[in-house]
Structure 1
Amino acid sequence: MIIATAGLTKRFGRVTAVDGVDLRVPEGVRFGLLGPNGSGKTTTVRMLLGLVHATSGSIEVFGEAMPRRAANVLPHVGALVEGPAAWGHLSGRANLRLLDAAGRGGRLRDRRRRVEDVLEQVGLGGVDRRPVRAYSLGMRQRLGIAAALLRGPRLLLLDEPTNGLDPRGIQEMRSLLTELNEAGTTVVLSSHLLSEVEALCTQVGIMDSGRLVLDSPLDALRTPTGRILLTTPDPASALGLLDGRVLSRVGNELVVRGDDAAELNARLVAGGVRVSGLGAERRTLEQVVLELTGPGADRVDGRPPPADDPTGPIPIPGGER
């Protein structure tokens, strides 16, 4: 395991921010740590890096105890936690050169090459000499990720890595992290952006009120919902043929009760209904998270959130039954 914790707990006075977390992150995965605001994600990441000491429990990274063996571990870890830090009066390039000199060191030519390489990787290869304080939020975020990549890390620990990026920047960062992972870097990111974790990660951990309530490969979470998504140019004919099984219809797209797409297809073809798309509906990561977690710490009205049943019948809005 790249990361292994046992009974990891952190208390701040009377507040238990992380409560008995047993986390396992295998080498080579893209691991997404999800949860509502205040669920303990960032505190957990900070403890993994030795930035915050645990109240109790144990942490191993690369099989080494943290924070006791931090000097051995941290040279192989790249991290971005709670936003990028930089000397605002210096340029991005100057910031990275200072960080690299303090870290890996080596010949000046090698240090400059490493800086230029990571700037290219994150899309800042053409950055000018303007100070970092004049950067946009997205540029600062790219610079923070560039700093995390300077050491050529075996493990990346990233807290909200796409914060401040526009849609194209998010796509670019997703591609970069995938490429790094395929080249051998284990990627661990904490985020509340479910769509990004679902698009990028291969394994997911879900935290709620300081506890790890789920740790699973992403594909194992996408279980069938018992509904089939049907697209047909003959929706009226399909409605008549499947009387009672159609849960909803929007234009030519229907949601049908059932779990055997092949049987449904055979029935439609036998009934002369043309089929242009057919497939079992699966649970989304959002549904899983909503089922396992409560409201975030930013909710203060004292009322429970509206109850949703993501697997129940969906009414046909103003349409046919």
Structure 2
Amino acid sequence: MSAAREGAPSVIRTAALTKRFGRVTAVDAVDLDVREGDVYGFLGANGSGKTTTVRMLLGLVLATSGEMDVLGEPMPGSARSVLPRVGAMVEGPGAYPHLSGRANLAMFDATGPDGSRRTRGQRVEEALERVGLASVDMRPVRAYSLGMRQRLGLAAALLRRPRLLVLDEPTNGLDPQGINEIRTLLLELNREGTTVFLSSHLLGEIEQMCTRVGVLDGGRLVLQDQMDALRGPTGRTEVHTPDLDLARSLLATAHVEVEASDEASDGGGRLLVRGLEPADLNARLVEGGVRVTQLGPERRRLEDVVLAATTSGTDRFGREGARA
């Protein structure tokens, strides 16, 4: 994964970005900082203002107040020069339902300033290949599943080989295998130099992919930092073992918390230990006959960090296993 360099230029920057619909403030003075090389996770519960923010960044909705730059140029004033370098999928993929996926991509490519007819077919096939739709026949898009439509929308976003990729809930409708494939693809694109801005309400998706995170709550940006900083060590050592009772008896002088696993057939689980250095802890357990399967510093979970920063709590945020 290509981590953003310290001091890397911003590819998205907003200052007090605000959008009101009548008396409702959907986005409230948001200051985004997305740097070149980021996989930026824009996290928030449904209705928190994520999609409205994305639409403003792309010039689809005018801001009530505030400023924003995309790829170093002010938006929406520079949309004509900025948008050809941005791949985007917002609020689900758009397509002509009576046409095939290939025909839709060819039409989309033809509308762009760099849509050379001579190489169009090659670009379309490459985009379909990258999202796993190369083997799909010429059936119309109305016959596609929701997951296939999501893949087609992502293919459209990749046609221009964008410098910046802006995606709103890109794994919606995908099965676990499809989610993993899209995750792998986005990380591959990032390694190749594309900055990824990923809007989602799914904590697991953001935690597995992103190098930097911003959290919206009620239209306000309540958290923005590097993922490594957010998930810093807690000061405790995490130990996984099938010998919970034996391990606990050996560590009677240390502060130990035990979490048994209901799924482990051997009755195992994990210990959270404070007050012992990891090397000393490991030596004491191994010498006492404890089978240690994993040992290392415990890190904060993104779920806990988000819960502490928001008023809505995490019950409105999706979990990895709760995808539709």
The bucket for the TM-score relative to the shorter chain is: 0.7 to 0.9
Describe the SS at the equivalent of 1:2: strand
- Native 8 Å contact 2:244 2:271 kept in 1: no
What whole-Å deviation, never above 9, does each CA across 1:6-57 have from its counterpart, x for those lacking one?
0100000011011111111111111000011111111111000000110000
**In terms of Rg, which structure is larger?**
1
In the alignment, which residue of structure 1 is the partner of 2:271? 255
Determine which of 181, 189, 192 is the counterpart of 2:198: 189
Give, as a single letter, the amino acid of the residue that structure 1 aligns with 2:271.
Answer: V
- Native 8 Å contact 2:238 2:273 kept in 1: no
Q: CA shift at 1:276, angstroms?
A: 3.6
Determine which of 188, 204, 212 is the counterpart of 1:203: 212
State the TM-score, normalizing by the size of structure 2: 0.87
In the alignment, which residue of structure 2 is the partner of 1:309? none
What whole-Å deviation, never above 9, does each CA across 1:285-304 have from its counterpart, x for those lacking one?
111111111228x98xxxxx
In the alignment, which residue of structure 2 is the partner of 1:52? 61
- Native 8 Å contact 2:14 2:66 kept in 1: yes
Give, as a single letter, the amino acid of the residue that structure 2 aligns with 1:246.
Answer: V
- Distance (Å, rounded) in 1 between the aligned partners of 2:107 and 2:286: 68
- Distance (Å, rounded) in 2 between the aligned partners of 1:43 and 1:13: 14
Determine which of 95, 99, 112 is the counterpart of 2:108: 99
* 1:240 matches 2:228: no
Describe the SS at the equivalent of 2:53: helix
Give, as a single letter, the amino acid of the residue that structure 1 aligns with 2:294.
Answer: G
In the alignment, which residue of structure 1 is the partner of 2:4? none
- Native 8 Å contact 1:42 1:82 kept in 2: yes
Q: CA shift at 1:214, angstroms?
A: 1.1
- Distance (Å, rounded) in 1 between the aligned partners of 2:291 and 2:92: 52
Number of corresponding residues: 299
Moved more, 278-287 or 92-101: 278-287
* 1:293 matches 2:310: yes
Describe the SS at the equivalent of 1:127: coil
- Native 8 Å contact 2:40 2:213 kept in 1: yes
Determine which of 286, 296, 301 is the counterpart of 1:279: 296
- Native 8 Å contact 1:29 1:203 kept in 2: yes
Determine which of 196, 220, 226 is the counterpart of 2:229: 220
Query: CA 1:133 to 1:28, structure 2 compared with 1: closer, same or farther past 3 Å?
Result: same
Describe the SS at the equivalent of 2:119: helix
Describe the SS at the equivalent of 1:156: strand
* 1:6 matches 2:15: yes
- Distance (Å, rounded) in 2 between the aligned partners of 1:233 and 1:42: 45
- Distance (Å, rounded) in 2 between the aligned partners of 1:240 and 1:14: 61
Cα-Cα RMSD: 2.0
Determine which of 132, 150, 155 is the counterpart of 1:146: 155
- Distance (Å, rounded) in 2 between the aligned partners of 1:292 and 1:234: 36
In the alignment, which residue of structure 2 is the partner of 1:268? 285
Give runs of ≥4 in structure 1 deviating > 4 Å: 269-274
In the alignment, which residue of structure 1 is the partner of 2:90? 81
What whole-Å deviation, never above 9, does each CA across 1:119-158 have from its counterpart, x for those lacking one?
1111110111111111100000000000111111100000
In the alignment, which residue of structure 1 is the partner of 2:6? none
In the alignment, which residue of structure 2 is the partner of 1:317? none
Q: CA shift at 1:233, angstroms?
A: 5.0
- Distance (Å, rounded) in 2 between the aligned partners of 1:93 and 1:140: 12
Give, as a single letter, the amino acid of the residue that structure 2 aligns with 1:52.
Answer: V
Describe the SS at the equivalent of 2:123: helix
* 1:22 matches 2:39: no
- Distance (Å, rounded) in 2 between the aligned partners of 1:68 and 1:101: 23
Q: CA shift at 1:95, angstroms?
A: 0.5
Describe the SS at the equivalent of 1:50: coil
Describe the SS at the equivalent of 2:239: strand
Q: Percent identity?
A: 65
In the alignment, which residue of structure 2 is the partner of 1:31? 40
Q: CA shift at 1:249, angstroms?
A: 4.2
Query: CA 1:107 to 1:222, structure 2 compared with 1: closer, same or farther past 3 Å?
Result: closer
What whole-Å deviation, never above 9, does each CA across 1:45-100 have from its counterpart, x for those lacking one?
10000001100000101111100111010010010000001111111111111111
- Distance (Å, rounded) in 2 between the aligned partners of 1:144 and 1:218: 27
Describe the SS at the equivalent of 1:114: helix
Give, as a single letter, the amino acid of the residue that structure 2 aligns with 1:123.
Answer: G
- Distance (Å, rounded) in 2 between the aligned partners of 1:290 and 1:277: 27
Q: CA shift at 1:274, angstroms?
A: 4.8
- Distance (Å, rounded) in 1 between the aligned partners of 2:242 and 2:71: 55
Query: CA 1:19 to 1:269, structure 2 compared with 1: closer, same or farther past 3 Å?
Result: same
In the alignment, which residue of structure 1 is the partner of 2:7? none
Query: CA 1:265 to 1:140, structure 2 compared with 1: closer, same or farther past 3 Å?
Result: same
In the alignment, which residue of structure 2 is the partner of 1:319? none
- Native 8 Å contact 1:229 1:253 kept in 2: no
- Native 8 Å contact 2:30 2:221 kept in 1: yes
Query: CA 1:106 to 1:146, structure 2 compared with 1: closer, same or farther past 3 Å?
Result: closer
- Distance (Å, rounded) in 2 between the aligned partners of 1:20 and 1:106: 37
